[in-house]
Amino acid sequence: MKRELFLIKGMSCSACSARIEKVVGKMAGVEKIAVNLLKNNAYVTYDETATDAAAICERVEKLGFEMSPAAASASVAPQPREDESSAAAAELKRRFLSSLLFLLPLMYISMGRMYGWPLPEFLTGSENDLVNMVVQFLLTLPVLFIGRKFFEVGLRNLLHLGPNMDSLIAIGSGAAFFYGTLAVLFAASAAGHGQWAAVHRYAHDLYFESSATIVTLITMGKFLEARAKAKTGAAIAKLMDLSPKTALVERHGISGEIEVAEVVVGDVCIVKAGAAVPVDGRVIEGVGSVDESAITGESIPVEKLPGAKVTGGTVNQNGYFKMEATAVGADTTLAKLIALVDEATGSKAPIARLADKVSGIFVPIVMSIAALTAIIWLLAGYGVDFALNCAIAVLVISCPCALGLATPTAIMVGTGRGAAAGILFKNAEALETAHAVDTVVLDKTGTVTEGRPQVTDVLAENNDEKKFLLLAGAVESLSQHPLAGPILEKAQELGAELATAANYQLSPGRGVSACVEGERIYAGNEKMFEDLPVSRSEKWQKVLKEGEILAKEGKTPLYFATETQYLGTIAVADEVKPSSKEAIAHLKALGLRVIMLTGDKRETAEAVRKKVGLDEAVAEVLPQDKEATIRNLQEAGHKVAMVGDGINDAPALARADVGLAIGAGTDIAIEAADVVLMKSDLRDAVRAVKLSRAVLGNIKQNLFWAFFYNAIGIPVAAGALYPAFGLLLSPMLGAAAMSCSSVSVVTNALRLRFIKL
């Protein structure tokens, strides 16, 4: 199966996107299609043996739209692109102001006679009725020409039996213009026969101002909508702007500036103070203080020493270093991040299916209601002008724009807000599902804890901690055991030179020993000392009891002694992250049950559980056990989120309803997850749930108002209130109301940009 991005031109409302999805979705070989009205694109998953991109594009073009595969380049770094919404807003603004230039005098002339406003002499008096009508006709023509796109697209879709929003506008405005034009022709004919009373009657039956106003107000609404849309893509635009344009590269001993696209893996790049890191790489010389906030959200600059990884798009605030390029173009972290956010904003949440289903049948139903409205009023004995007024009002007020924008705008703003906070939702489904989670399962190592052992306690027998650490460091300097590293690191922090160790011996499952300063020193667990004289001393029993206390606290005690003399104990543990306790408290405050899974022993798991306030800790589990635990919770009716970072977490992350990968974790874990927490901070899991709840609440608000607006607007436009209250909605007010509904939906979604996480 191939998943490909296509660009689509000609869509104007959710009826368009729903029709494309319906038709393409039925094509042989097409497994899935998700059309994004907001971004004018579609992701199509299809079997290349059954169909291809050309066939898909051809099928869509038969519907009256333009479709083409998105130009993709995997060899170059992502470049900032012109914001299409901003360009569209500028074009719509020009069209709106141009239309307004003709609409204002048209409105003044048409309403001036009604209210006695001062008008040029050649436009006043019954003898000038025909002149007045022709002037209104001539002022209306430029407005309709400027807004001709509504007619081109609307009528084309109507001919393809796929009416959309533009079809409603074209029919509504066109009907008013056609009725007015007939009135001018009949008036001209009456004037030729000297029937001036008929000319005067026709002069009051014009709908030119309604026709022009509908087009102008819809254009204004589209302009405001496009301007608001431009803000929804701000997060992606900012990410794209991070991508450096040039790189200072050293080749064959000569340094020079080249385009970032020309950097290849293995190149040596020079990064000076204040410069951006051009691509992903590894520091090979020098030191720098790199601001990674744009990528990870972490505000504190990170010191980069030789061997450290650096990410393209981050900024070297201080220092100077050389780096070797390890990933370029589309393989860089920034490029993948942009692709991830871009794809997430283009995906479709399950709740969007409701709007899509309604949109697919909405326009034909509205057209039927408009026709029925005209027929009913005509049968009731009202005139053609009254019936036409009601029918046109129904057409223009019923636009499905608000319905189509309700979900994608909230999704786009929500994912952008998340990306700015270092929370990357891979798709809209994850963004929606996260709100319903009732159980959060956490991996221990690297998620709740730091993921690397550290020395927590040093208990020196003679109270000379420095001398004891230097002896312990000397013994462990020859060991490859994972717990030896933290002890050696702690000893090296003292700044003194370690003694030389010799005659190193390893006792598997027990510990190690070595000769230091002429005496053999033993290091390990209690089993290491079972056969040594030191274990038979009274002191040794106290030492073991202290070790048991440390073990209950989740620490691993290592004992150091000669054959006859106890030297001290060093406790090593994978310390809990400072933010974990706070994060877990917040998760519980959101009403979530929090469980920890770990392959560690029960004592350690229980110690961590008590320390951070977990509801439950499941210990000594294998990777497949983690996946099984998630499955069992789901079978019990729970919606489960899994937070992890390791390869062993990948099955559980994939199984969970929502998988959240700690950003510093492995690529496999990130690949398996639905959400990536870039800062490796468990508090971001809380923020992800909060953001999901806020986005879904926003979508529901938007859908409610879109449905409510149409449920109220259509009957009023049809004249339901006229018999009882004499209230009638003019087509002009209908057009204004329709525009306001679309703008209000987008504006409501934009509130998510300011949500506090």
Phi, psi of 748 (to 5 degrees): -60, -40
Q: At what angle do helices 165-192 and 208-232 cross, to 10 degrees?
A: 160
pLDDT tens, 605-633?
A: 888 898 899 999 988 786 667 888 988 99
Q: What CA–CA distance (Å, rounded) separates 316 from 277?
A: 7
- 278 and 312 in contact (C-beta within 8 Å)? yes
What's the mean pLDDT in 440-461? Answer: 86
Q: How many CB atoms lie within 10 A of CB 720?
A: 16
Q: How far is CA 52 from CA 3, 70, 117, 368, in A?
A: 11, 14, 64, 37
Look over the chain and give the mean of its residue pLDDT values, rounded to a whole number: 83
> Across residues 679-688, what is the average pLDDT?
89
Tell me the per-residue pLDDT of 701-731, one tens digit each, with 9 for 90 and over. 888 887 787 788 889 889 989 988 888 877 6
Confidence (pLDDT) at 621: 80
Give mean pLDDT, residues 112-139: 83
| pLDDT computed for residue 467 by the predictor | 87
What per-residue confidence (pLDDT) applies to 143? Answer: 94
Distance (Å, whole) CA 172 – CA 511: 87
As a whole number, mean pLDDT of residues 529-539 equals 88
What are the beta bridge partners of residue 617? 596
- Whole-number pLDDT of residue 82: 44
Report how far apart, in Å, the C-alpha atoms of 680 and of each of 371, 446, 478, 514, 719 are. 59, 8, 32, 39, 59
Binning pLDDT at 50, 70 and 90, where does residue 531 land? confident
Q: How far apart are CA 706 and CA 710, in angstroms?
A: 6
Kindly report the backbone phi and psi dihedral angles of residue 78, in degrees, each rounded to the nearest multiple of 5, phi listed first.
Answer: -65, 140
Question: How far apart are the C-alpha atoms of 528 and 521, rounded to whole Å?
Answer: 11
Q: Given a cut of 70, is residue 735 above it in pLDDT?
A: no
pLDDT digits (tens, 9 = 90+) for 370-389: 899 999 999 998 888 788 87
The torsion region of residue 40 among left (phi > 0), alpha (psi -120 to 50) and beta comes to: left
Asked if CATH classification 2.70.150.10 holds for the domain at 242-332, the reply, yes or no, is yes
Residue 46 has pLDDT above 90, yes or no: yes
712 three-class SS = helix
pLDDT at 223: 80
Of 166, 141, 152, 151, nearest to 15 by C-alpha is 166
Distance CA 432, CA 529 (A): 57
Once rounded to an integer, what is the mean pLDDT over residues 262-288?
A: 92
Q: Which residue is listed with tokens 């204002």? A: 104
Beta strands (DSSP E) in 421-497 are: 423-425, 439-443, 449-460
Q: Which amino acid is at 337?
A: L
Read off the pLDDT band of 738 (50, 70, 90).
low
Question: What is the gyration radius of the CA atoms in the chain, in angstroms?
Answer: 36
666: pLDDT strictly greater than 70: no
The residue that leads in pLDDT, 117 or 591, is: 591
- pLDDT band, residue 356 (cuts 50/70/90): low
Instruction: Check pLDDT > 80 for residue 75.
Output: no
Mean pLDDT lowest for which of 7-16, 91-100, 127-136, 236-245?
236-245
Please give the class, per CATH, of domain 409-449+576-690. alpha beta
Per-residue confidence (pLDDT) for residue 359, from 0 to 100: 59
Residues facing 521 on adjacent strands:
514
pLDDT at 693: 93
Please enumerate in sequence order all residues whose Cβ is within 8 A of that of 398, keeping only pairs 6 or more positions apart, or say none: 168, 362, 366, 369, 370, 710, 713, 714, 717, 738
pLDDT the model gives residue 245: 87
| Residue appearing with tokens 């009957």 | 715
Pick from 168, 166, 175, 171: nearest CA to 207 = 175
CA gap 267, 174 in Å, rounded: 63
Confidence category of residue 403, pLDDT binned at 50, 70, 90: low
Distance CA 33, CA 348 (A): 10
Cβ proximity of 40 and 88 under 8 Å = no
pLDDT at 554: 79
Q: Which is nearest to 643 in space by CA: 631, 625, 658, 628?
A: 658
Q: Which two tokens stand for residue 432?
A: 């929606």
Pick the residue with more confidence: 63 or 687? Answer: 687
Q: What integer pLDDT is reported at residue 647 of this predicted model? A: 57
pLDDT of residue 670: 60
Q: How confident is the model at residue 247 (pLDDT cuts 50, 70, 90)?
A: very high
CA distance 754 to 757: 9
Write out 634-656 in H/E/C secondary structure: HHCCCCEEEEECCHHHHHHHHHC
* Rounded Cα gap, residues 710 and 358, in angstroms: 12
At 83, the pLDDT band (50, 70, 90 cuts) reads low
| Beta bridge mates, 49 | none
Instruction: In whole angstroms, give the CA distance from residue 610 to residue 67.
Output: 58
The mean pLDDT value for 288-300 works out to 68
DSSP helix/strand/coil, 559: strand
Q: Grade residue 84 by pLDDT with cuts at 50, 70 and 90.
A: low
Ordered alpha helix ranges (H), 482-622: 484-492, 538-552, 580-589, 602-612
Q: What is the mean pLDDT of residues 431-444?
A: 90
pLDDT of residue 150: 86
Q: Residues with catalytic annotation? A: 443
pLDDT class of 672 with cuts at 50, 70, 90: low
> Rounded distance, CA 178 to CA 597, Å?
72
Name the band, by pLDDT with cuts 50, 70 and 90, for residue 280: very high
State the pLDDT at residue 706. 77
What pLDDT does 256 receive? 92
**Is it true that domain 2-69 has CATH number 3.30.70.100?**
yes
Element (H, E) at 474: helix 465-476
Asked whether 135 and 180 are in contact (CB, 8 A), the reply is no
Between 3.40.50.410, 3.40.50.620, 3.40.50.720, 3.40.1110.10, what CATH number should domain 451-575 receive? 3.40.1110.10
Residue 569 pLDDT grade (very low, low, confident, very high; cuts 50, 70, 90): very high
In this prediction, residue 3 carries a pLDDT of: 84
Mean pLDDT of the 666-691 span: 80
Q: From CA 131, how far away is CA 616, in angstroms rounded?
A: 86
Average pLDDT in the 313-336 region? 87
How many CB atoms within 10 Å of residue 542? Answer: 11
Residue 233 has pLDDT above 90, yes or no: no
pLDDT at residue 349 greater than cutoff 60: no
Average pLDDT value for residue range 672-678 = 80
* DSSP 8-state assignment for residue 674: S
More confident: 280 or 403 = 280
| Average pLDDT of the residues in 153-163 | 79
* Virtual torsion, Cα 710, 716, 717, 718, nearest 10 deg: 110
**CB distance 448 to 554 below 8 Å:** no
Q: Over the stretch 176-207, which tens digit does the pLDDT of each residue have?
A: 888 889 889 988 998 888 888 888 887 876 77
